[in-house]
Amino acid sequence: MQRLEASRPLDLTGRVVLVTGGAGDIGSAIAAQAARHGATVIIADNGTSVTGIGDDPNRAVGAAGRLAAEYGSVVGYHCDLTDRHQVEAMFESLLTTHGTVDAVVAAAATVRVRPVWELSSADWRNVFDAHATHTYLVARAACRHWRTTAAARSGSSRSLVTLTAATGLVGRPDLGVAHSAAKGALVGMTLELAHEMYPYGVSVNAVAEANVRGRVAAHVGAQLPVAKDTFDACSPDHVGMLAAYLASGDAPFITGQVLRVVGGMIGRYRGWRETDSLVPDGSWTIDTVRLGVLRLFDVYPRFMAPQGRQCDPFGPSLPTPA
């Protein structure tokens, strides 16, 4: 395993980093951090509102100009990231101009908050496409390039970073079922791509952000704590720094992970894990399934036979409560 030089400053010089949704609050913060540390950054953006309405071609270019003036090499690219043809054309243009794309951070998103009985098919498609479909399209284009050039770039890590949220992991009542479904899909996509791209030296990780100050929080009316002195726990810069680090290639052994950033805290998720299990002495019946589920939840720990004698159809596989 490559020895990490943790004492040296992070340096992204020479890396080409694509940030989708780069004109947004989080995307801009990611682009700023990557450019500040030497990367050539391309921000791609649909130019839509927070609800996915509109198509402003100047939004990406304008945001790139502001970021470049302060942080370094940032260029803007207007692209409908949910359109396969536009995404493919964008990648062809980037490869022609820059020769490669070393990292992709998929940060584009929209939000439409409605209860499921009021959520239209158009709402569902808009939110799901903005999060999950766009990530699939840019990941497909990037991974195709990385797979075909893996041998030539042996020893130089490529990185894909997706943006998920607690809504897709543990659920929340305030962002809607489409948002939760899309964010959950991104976690599954991240874990699968980590397996698929491991042989080609590509690290794939997800950042689960929450309570970020910006237009999404304002749109849903989130009550966020005010900044204290010079520290803002809800600043998008926290997400920006973590995502930029994962895109840096500094730690290629980190892959298939979901990292949480909220309130200035960084954490690591461990996914769904089996906690308890039951194996019956014989074949399953509907009655043992029912009783087994009750056992798993400590609701009905023992099976009462019809004759009144107690017996345990599951044996020693799960300790029986006293």
The pLDDT assigned to 295 comes to: 83
Per-residue model confidence (pLDDT) at position 138: 98
pTM comes to 0.89
Question: Can you give 274-320 as a three-state secondary structure string?
Answer: CCCCCCCCCCCCHHHHHHHHHHHCCCCCCEECCCCCEECCCHHHCCC
Residue 303 bridge partners (DSSP)? 311
For residue 189, what pLDDT is reported?
97
CA 114 to chain centre: 22
Cα dihedral 135, 138, 142, 144, rounded to 10, equals 100
pLDDT number for residue 232? 82
The pLDDT, as a whole number, for residue 251 is: 85
Largest distance between two CA atoms of the chain: 83
Instruction: Collect the ranges in the chain with pLDDT lower than 70.
Output: 1-7, 154-155, 300-322
Q: Give the position of tokens 């400590």.
A: 298
**pLDDT value of position 208:** 94
Q: How far is it, in rounded angstroms, from Cα 287 to Cα 303?
A: 10
The pLDDT of residue 6: 60
Q: What does the alpha-carbon distance between residue 220 and residue 149 come to, in Å, rounded to a whole number?
A: 43
Nearest 5°: the CA angle 101, 206, 188 is 105
The reported pLDDT for the residue numbered 155 is 66
Tokens representing 296? 């798993």
pLDDT value at residue 173: 76
Q: Residue 308 has what pLDDT?
A: 46
Q: Given the structure tokens 């041998």, which residue do they identify?
A: 151
pLDDT value at position 321?
A: 45
Find out whether 160 and 142 touch, Cβ atoms under 8 Å. yes
Length of the chain: 322
pLDDT digits 0-9 by tens, 110-135: 999 999 999 999 999 999 999 999 99
Q: How high is the pLDDT of residue 309?
A: 47
Name the one residue in this structure whose structure tokens are 């490669």: 100
